[in-house]
Structure 1
């Protein structure tokens, strides 16, 4: 899956991989994982950190937050790797016909 161009989902124009907008219809290209997955990873990492902090001795609650931070960095890195070839085309709401 090493393509140099993606077809635009709105106008079928071939769009170069590094482009930010479709040259045919000016639709914005967005790559990577959806933002909601990053938000989910953040919430999960906070929950993991809180659970680990409460399970550890009272003298070392910071270690749980370090574990949560490691989980966050790992989750974001995994999301980046899993969605490296994902491209979505997004039009502004003002560009859509009424």
Structure 2
């Protein structure tokens, strides 16, 4: 197998994806995965010898993400908009006068 041609950042992401993938594989179980996709458990086990790493690099190179079902993904522009609104709200709250004393 040749050396990785991914940038250091993409290579780090691929390693992170591989870690998530392997943790999830342990959690769900190789046999469960194998049965679900119609292959032998040994086939799934052999993937750990480089196949999972290779596909995680492909995912990183394509600019995709590997996340659990429970993750909520939003695009960066939307997140920046929310951050701006939160910042404006905090600034407005700081300028708000204190209690009037009759509450």
Normalised by the length of structure 1, the TM-score is: 0.33
Structure whose residues are more often strand by fraction? 1
Normalised by the length of structure 2, the TM-score is: 0.32
Tell me which structure has the larger Cα radius of gyration.
2
